Chains A and B, each alone.
Chain A
Amino acid sequence: MVTIGHYLVLSSVLFAIGAGGVLLRRNGIATLLGIELMLNAANVAFVAFAKQHGNLEGQVVVFFVMAVAAAEVAVGLALLVAIFRRLQSIDVDRLSAMRW
């Protein structure tokens, strides 16, 4: 039988993979993909908890997360395109112009 714990473990593993992607990759696209993965992992947890409590509030939150993720991707990709035009590269480590 699939318990809530199964989904939560899956969620935390996916979250860790996404976090690893954000921390380890220097390719801006991979970083953004990692963020998407983390958001999705959180969604799995939300739906699992919604199931645990037997109501739909958690699913409403997932709906909002999806909308915000869409907004985040639009801005993030626009930033990447702007960065690429400037540096001819999307290595996020090279964005050091504002570093003190």
Chain B
Amino acid sequence: MELWVFYLAAAAAVASALVAVTHRNPVINVLALIVTFFCVAVNFALMGADFLAGAQVLIYAGAILVLFLFVVMLLGAPTVSAEENPRPIQKTLGAFLAALVAAAGFFFFRGFSGEGLASPHAGVTTHALGRLLVGPHLFAFELVSVVLLAALIGALVLVKRKH
């Protein structure tokens, strides 16, 4: 049962990820990536990371990709024409490198068997995660909030029209 859910989610994730990076229409790219992120959320849930599964949908699908879609629509779904400057060598090299990464990952990680240790928090991670975040990782937590603030101001400065 669990295995079938995994295979289904993984197949859907890979298929939609392929669409997300190859389709010419940026709106379709964004939509396909939403499907991928949902499938990743399913995988998180399978691994007992329930809070992250929810956060994945809320943050990625609900906020980040809405922002993407907003910008795509604001710019009028710009596409890049394929003909000018095709650069065959770079294309082949890039595809080869990506395939290499995939193959290396596949053959290296295929050997990892075992289901891992049973976490005492599997399925109810919210409390434990919260304690970790404001306990041992408090500094990083505060730092991330500063990063977010900096990004907020940076984005504002970048798109502000000069009068």
Contact = CB atoms under 8 A, between A and B. Distances in A.
A89 B80 CA distance: 8
Contact of A5 (B44, B48, B109, B141): B109
Contacts of A23: 94-95, 97-98
A33 to B, nearest CB: 5
Contacts of A78: 154-156, 158-159
A44 B13 CA distance: 12
B55 A29 contact: no
Nearest to A82: B158
* Size bracket, chain B contacts: 35 or more
B97 A71 contact: no
A84 B86 CA distance: 21
Given A27-B26, A56-B128, A9 B17 contact: no
Contacts of A57: 132
A17 B97 CA distance: 10
Nearest to B103: A16
B78 A24 contact: no
Given A20-B21, A20-B95, A90-B75, A13 B154 contact: no
5 contacts: A16-B105, A17-B98, A59-B125, A63-B129, A79-B158
Interface of A: 1-21, 23-27, 29-30, 32-34, 36-37, 40, 43-44, 47-48, 50-57, 59-60, 62-64, 66-75, 77-82, 84, 89-91, 93
